[in-house]
Amino acid sequence: QVQLVESGGGLVQPGGSLRLSCAASGIAFRLYVMGWYRQAPGTRRELVATITSGGSTNYADSVKGRFTISRDNAKNTVYLQINSVKLEDTAVYYCNAEKVSDYWGQGTQVTVSS
């Protein structure tokens, strides 16, 4: 059974930082492209960042320079370091694992508020 479990979300002030984690099980993690997506209320789910099995990364323009995606294949975990958060970063953040099949976590809420 495939499981992606996100953690690390919460309430953060503008300009602050937090780190999201996604622990995967039931898949050959090192072979998957891992990604983070987010969905704010009333909007469509959007790509935040992806990282390939080889470590190549891709970011949405809105987060470049502020977010960093990384992975630890030994721990089957992908991370999203979020710095200099903005109000518009408020959303539910979802972990994604993609190869032939596509898997999603349940999401973790990030709320940016002063």
Average pLDDT over residues 12-22: 97
**How far apart are alpha carbons 99 and 113 in whole angstroms?**
36
CB neighbours (10 Å) of residue 27?
17
pLDDT score of 105: 97
Query: What does the pLDDT look like over 39-96, one tens digit per residue?
Result: 999 999 999 999 999 999 999 999 999 999 999 999 999 999 999 999 999 999 999 9
Q: If we measure between CA atoms, which residue out of 2, 26, 21 comes closest to residue 104?
A: 2
What integer pLDDT is reported at residue 101 of this predicted model? Answer: 86
Q: Per-residue pLDDT for 97 more than 90?
A: yes
pLDDT of 100: 86
Mean of the pLDDT values across residues 11-36?
97
Task: Tell me how far apart the alpha carbons of residues 93 and 25 are, in angstroms, rounded to a whole number.
Answer: 19
